Structure 1
Amino acid sequence: MTTLRTPGPTVGVVGGGQLGRMLAEAAAPLGVEVIVLDPTPDCPAAPVAREQIVAEFDDEAAIRDLATRADVLTFEIELADQQVLDRVSEETGTPVHPDPATLETIHDKLVQKRELEAAGVPVPPFRTVEDADDVRAAIDDYGAPVMLKARTGGYDGRGNVPVESKADAEAALESVAGPAMVESFVDFEREVSVIAVKGDDEIATFPIGENVHEDEILRETIVPARSNEAVTERAHAVARDVLEVMDGRGVYGIEFFEAPDGEVLLNEIAPRPHNSGHWTIEGAQTSQFEQHVRAVLGWPLGSTALRSPTVMTNLLGDVEEERPAQLSDLDEILETPGANLHWYGKRAARPLRKMGHVTVTGRDDEGVDELLERAVSLRESVTFE
Structure 2
Amino acid sequence: MTTLESPGPTVGVVGGGQLGRMLAEAASPLGVDVIVLDPTPDCPAAGVSRDQLVGDFDDEARIQELAERSDVLTFEIELADQDALERVREETGVPVHPDPATLRTIHDKLVQKRELEAAGVPVPPFRAVEDVADVRAAIDDYGASVMLKARTGGYDGRGNVPVESKADAEAALEAVAGPAMVESFVDFEREISVIAAKGYGETATFPVGENVHEDEILRETVVPARSSDAVLERAREVAEDVLEVMAGRGIYGIELFETTGGEILLNEIAPRPHNSGHWTIEGVRTSQFEQHVRAVLGWPLGSTALRAPTVSTNLLADVEAPRPAALANVERIFETPTASLHWYGKREARPLRKMGHVTVTADGDETREELLERARGLRDAVTFESE
The answer, yes or no, to whether TM exceeds 0.5 is yes
Distance of 1:296 and 1:321 partners within structure 2: 39
Distance of 1:285 and 1:336 partners within structure 2: 21
Stretch deviating more after TM superposition (238-247 or 329-338): 329-338
Indicate the residue corresponding to 1:184 in structure 2. 184
Indicate the residue corresponding to 2:343 in structure 1. 343
Distance of 2:166 and 2:292 partners within structure 1: 44
Partner amino acid, structure 1, of 2:340: N
> Does the alignment pair 1:162 with 2:159?
no
Distance of 1:341 and 1:238 partners within structure 2: 32
Distance of 2:64 and 2:345 partners within structure 1: 27
Distance of 1:135 and 1:362 partners within structure 2: 46
Indicate the residue corresponding to 1:202 in structure 2. 202
Q: Aligned ranges for residues 223-302 of structure 1 at < 5 Å? A: 223-302=223-302
Distance of 2:47 and 2:14 partners within structure 1: 16
Q: Aligned ranges for residues 285-324 of structure 1 at < 5 Å? A: 285-324=285-324
Identity %: 81
Indicate the residue corresponding to 2:107 in structure 1. 107
C-alpha displacement of 1:323: 1.1
SS in 2 for 1:276: helix
Partner amino acid, structure 2, of 1:194: V
C-alpha displacement of 1:365: 2.3
Indicate the residue corresponding to 2:3 in structure 1. 3
Q: TM-score of the superposition, structure 1-length normalised?
A: 0.99
Distance of 2:158 and 2:33 partners within structure 1: 33
Indicate the residue corresponding to 1:23 in structure 2. 23
SS in 2 for 1:189: strand
Distance of 1:156 and 1:202 partners within structure 2: 28
C-alpha displacement of 1:5: 2.6
Indicate the residue corresponding to 2:221 in structure 1. 221
Counterpart contact for 2:255–2:269, Cα < 8 Å: yes
SS in 1 for 2:294: helix
C-alpha displacement of 1:148: 0.3
Counterpart contact for 2:145–2:185, Cα < 8 Å: yes
Indicate the residue corresponding to 1:353 in structure 2. 353
Partner amino acid, structure 2, of 1:262: G
Partner amino acid, structure 2, of 1:302: G
Counterpart contact for 1:322–1:351, Cα < 8 Å: yes
Distance of 1:278 and 1:328 partners within structure 2: 22
Indicate the residue corresponding to 2:141 in structure 1. 141
Distance of 2:207 and 2:363 partners within structure 1: 16
Indicate the residue corresponding to 2:52 in structure 1. 52
Partner amino acid, structure 2, of 1:231: V
1:177-214 deviation digits (Å, cap 9, x = unpaired): 00000000001000000000000010000000000000
Distance of 1:378 and 1:180 partners within structure 2: 40
Distance of 1:6 and 1:273 partners within structure 2: 26
C-alpha displacement of 1:2: 4.9
C-alpha displacement of 1:364: 5.4
The structure 1 segments of at least 4 consecutive aligned residues displaced by more than 2 Å after TM superposition are 1-7
Distance of 2:3 and 2:283 partners within structure 1: 30
C-alpha displacement of 1:267: 0.2
Distance of 1:265 and 1:364 partners within structure 2: 34
Partner amino acid, structure 1, of 2:73: L
SS in 1 for 2:269: strand
Structure 1 unaligned blocks of 5 or more: none
1:276-305 deviation digits (Å, cap 9, x = unpaired): 000000000000000000000000000000
Counterpart contact for 1:7–1:30, Cα < 8 Å: no
Stretch deviating more after TM superposition (78-87 or 156-165): 156-165
C-alpha RMSD of matched pairs (Å): 0.8
Q: TM-score of the superposition, structure 2-length normalised?
A: 0.98
